[in-house]
Each structure stands twice: as C-alpha cells, then as structure tokens.
Amino acid sequence: MSWTLPVFSKSATVLAVVFGMFFQISIALSAPQLSPMEITYDDKVLYCSVGPVAVSDQVTLALNQGTAVAFSWEIIIEEVNDYWVNNEIGEIVIVRQAIPDLISRSLIITDTKSAISRTVHTIDDATEFISRLDHFPILDRSLLTSGVTYSVRVKLHVHEGELGDSWWAEAVRFGKTVALEDVTLP
C-alpha cells in the first residue's frame, strides 16, 4: 500500500486566483500620488525637475534619530507606443543620501552619482537636498526625435540605513512612480 498525497482541487485553485486578484488590487490602491515634474531642454540636454516630494515624518524621525536615509531616484525615458509596450530610450539612477552625526549634530549629504558631499546642520536642509531634483540633466537630446512623444517616468525608493548593507534589500527594491510626464520635442 502506497502513501498518497492529497491534491488540491479546483476550488483551491480558484481561491488562489481570487487571492492574486486581491493582491494586485491592493497594490494599485496603495499607489502614491504623483508629484509635479517639469521637463526642460536646451540644444543638447534634456533636464528634469521633480519635487519636492513630500517627505514623510518617518524620514524626518529617522534622520533625527541618527539613521541615514537615501533617496534613490530612477528616471526612465520611453518612446510611447499605442499598441505595444513602450520602447525604453534611457534610464538614469540618482542616489542622494543624508547621514546624520548625532554627536556633532550635523548631517552629511552626498550625491553618490556626482560624489558631491557637504555638511549641513539642519534636517530641513538635508531633506531639501535629497527630496528634490532641480534641473537635473537626464538625457542627451540627440537620442530623441523631434515630433515623437516620449514618456518620462520617475520612480523613487526611500531607503533607511546605510546603503549596500544587504544585497537583498536592493533586490526587493521596487520603488514608486512619483512623477510622470509626456514630452514631445519640436
């Protein structure tokens, strides 16, 4: 006589599908509100200005209690397709971090992309720096075609603690879409 494992029936499968639908709906309902974004350009470069993104009390509290906070901006430029997925033109990641020093009551703010670092003494200065992208160059204009509509999507992931302290923390970083704008070059 052999052991036989019970097999989940169709009803369990149906329940799992319903559960998946609930999961997707919950994610859609929890999507954040979009922040204002401005796309500007000159002869050579496309610039992006976002924010300031509303900084939660949790971020302020973390900085106040000495925990480093990093804003990871992901800017994606796509060519809009009506009947197919968008064609990605470029993607740029900017990481801005504020590291508080409780002993000296100061904060070191850094831009990991440009390696700029300076010390500020108020949390507002630090959050202003990490929560805003002001006239930030994102793409060479030569990569874009005049008359074509492009979508610029900005995703933001807020990270508490030291960067790179766990590999899986980066792996599960999804990010929220905080700004979305279409642009058509003349």
Local structure of 43: helix, strand or coil: coil
The candidate with the shortest Cα–Cα distance to 145, out of 90, 91, 184, is 184
- Interface characters, 84-113, with another protein (x: CB under 8 A): -----------------xxxxxx-------
Q: How far is the CB of 172 from another protein (least distance, A)?
A: 7
Does 80 contact another protein by CB under 8 A?
no
What is the spatial distance between Cα 184 and Cα 126, in angstroms, rounded to a whole number?
34
Q: Out of 40, 56, 81, 119, which residue is the one contacting another protein (CB under 8 A)?
A: 119
Contact 107, 47 (CB under 8 A): no
Does 114 contact another protein by CB under 8 A?
no
Position 150, amino acid: Y
Exposed, middle or buried by CB within 10 Å (0-12, 13-18, 19+), for 93? middle
Q: Out of 21, 25, 27, 143, which residue is the one contacting another protein (CB under 8 A)?
A: 27
* 158 beta partners: 71
Q: Out of 140, 161, 165, 182, which residue is the one contacting another protein (CB under 8 A)?
A: 161
Q: Out of 6, 42, 114, 186, which residue is the one contacting another protein (CB under 8 A)?
A: 6
What is the spatial distance between Cα 152 and Cα 77, in angstroms, rounded to a whole number?
5
Residues within the interface to another protein (CB under 8 A)? 1, 3-6, 8-9, 11-12, 15-16, 19, 22-23, 26-27, 30, 58, 61-62, 65-67, 101-106, 119, 160-161, 169, 172, 174
